[in-house]
């Protein structure tokens, strides 16, 4: 495949680049000039960097030429200071719609973007892709708005569309402030971690499994033109089958870390949406990928992160000598 990716230096985007290159696909990554994260991308013949941003994506079209699939993973303002800013999030919506038009100009048969579990808002029971969404913060509202505007646009342009609704993906390279990154970093060194009460349900999926599912979905939809638009609701939850109380996940990490460190429940000030339970329905994902299974249990994913962290610490120690 000839793949175009925005947000290629981000957590999920950089792992997707690696996954496509490992398959032998040709990857064109739209990246910001001087980005401090360019180093996360491999230097391989199959990867071409195009400098620019989503807001001016049309300028990249002549340089890229053509493509098969456009994966839009870029989205600004995901930090606590801007995640509830209507102005910042509306800017994301317009830039994302520009990416849809650019994908069509490049001749792509498929447009995929990174949606979010936050779109569901305070949902009761299983979070099914077919349900109406009631997001709480500006970020979730913008993701939901983009989907509702991108769907008719893709239909008008005759391009397949899949809105990948990611839940809590974790692994090496995740945001350092995420709960998993914080626990894996602090507990082995005996640190204290401030947490919510952690009584609500949650779902975690290891990064390698998440990107494997996305790559396989790309292959399926490209092999069956028109499938997503014929389905009427091209949304797919990217999540694990492992849903349980958040405290259970936290305690498992604590146990894997040898019981080191201290967990301080009820001391963390939560974001606007509060302690919403997360219960994704993943039947559509598995129906689209019959026979596909996650390769990592939660325990295996955490052990892989701890090993990555140990290797990174050893490198830093060697540098300090």
- Whether 248 is covered by a domain: the verdict is yes
Among residues 69, 145, 71, 57, which one has the least CA distance to residue 101?
57
Rounded to the nearest integer, the mean pLDDT of the chain is: 92
Among residues 254, 78, 251, which one has the least CA distance to residue 177?
78
- Whether 288 is covered by a domain: the verdict is no
Answer yes or no: do 112 and 78 share one domain: yes
- Residue 122, Cα to own-chain centre: how many angstroms? 20
Does position 135 have pLDDT exceeding 90, yes or no? yes
Judge whether 13 and 28 are in contact, CB under 8 Å. Answer: no
Query: pLDDT grade, residue 316 (50/70/90)?
Result: very low
Answer yes or no: do 46 and 195 share one domain: no
Answer yes or no: do 36 and 146 share one domain: yes
**Tens digits of residue pLDDT in 237-289:** 999 999 999 999 999 999 999 999 999 999 987 665 667 889 999 999 999 99
Q: Provide the number of structural domains found in the chain.
A: 2
**105 Cβ contact list (under 8 Å, min separation 6):** 58, 61
What are the backbone dihedrals phi and psi of residue 204, each rounded to the nearest 5 degrees, phi first? -125, 140
Query: pLDDT grade, residue 317 (50/70/90)?
Result: very low
Answer yes or no: do 82 and 198 share one domain: no
Answer yes or no: do 231 and 114 share one domain: yes
Answer yes or no: do 84 and 132 share one domain: yes
**Tens digits of residue pLDDT in 51-75:** 998 889 999 999 999 999 999 999 9
């Amino acid at each position: 495949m000839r793949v175009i990716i925005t947000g290629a230096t981000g957590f999920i985007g950089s792992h997707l680049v690696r996954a496509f290159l490992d398959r032998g696909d040709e990857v064109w990554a739209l990246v910001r000039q001087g980005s401090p994260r360019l180093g996360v991308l491999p230097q391989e013949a199959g990867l071409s960097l195009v400098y620019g941003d989503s807001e001016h994506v049309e300028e990249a079209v002549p340089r890229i030429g053509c493509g098969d699939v456009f994966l839009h993973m870029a989205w600004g303002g995901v930090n606590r200071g801007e995640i509830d800013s209507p102005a910042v999030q509306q800017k994301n919506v317009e830039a994302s719609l520009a990416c849809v038009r650019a994908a069509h100009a490049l001749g792509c048969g498929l447009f995929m973007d990174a949606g979010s579990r936050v779109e569901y808002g305070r949902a009761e029971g299983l979070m099914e892709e077919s349900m109406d969404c009631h997001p709480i913060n500006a970020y979730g509202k913008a993701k939901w708005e983009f989907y509702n505007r991108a769907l008719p646009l893709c239909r008008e342009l005759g391009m397949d569309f899949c809105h990948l609704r990611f839940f809590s993906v974790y692994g090496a390279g995740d945001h350092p402030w995420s709960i998993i990154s914080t626990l894996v970093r602090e507990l082995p060194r005996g640190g204290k971690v401030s947490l919510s009460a952690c009584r609500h349900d949650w779902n975690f999926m290891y990064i390698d499994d998440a990107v494997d599912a996305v790559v396989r979905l790309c292959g399926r939809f490209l092999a069956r033109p028109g499938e997503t638009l014929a389905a009427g609701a091209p949304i797919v939850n990217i999540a694990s089958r492992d849903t349980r109380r958040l405290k259970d996940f936290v305690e498992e990490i604590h146990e894997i870390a040898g019981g080191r460190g201290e967990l301080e429940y009820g001391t963390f000030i939560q974001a606007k949406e509060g302690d919403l339970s997360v219960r994704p329905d993943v039947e559509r994902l598995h129906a689209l990928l019959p026979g596909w299974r996650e390769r990592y249990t939660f325990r295996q994913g955490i052990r892989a992160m701890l090993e990555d962290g140990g290797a990174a610490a050893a490198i830093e120690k060697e540098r300090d000598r």
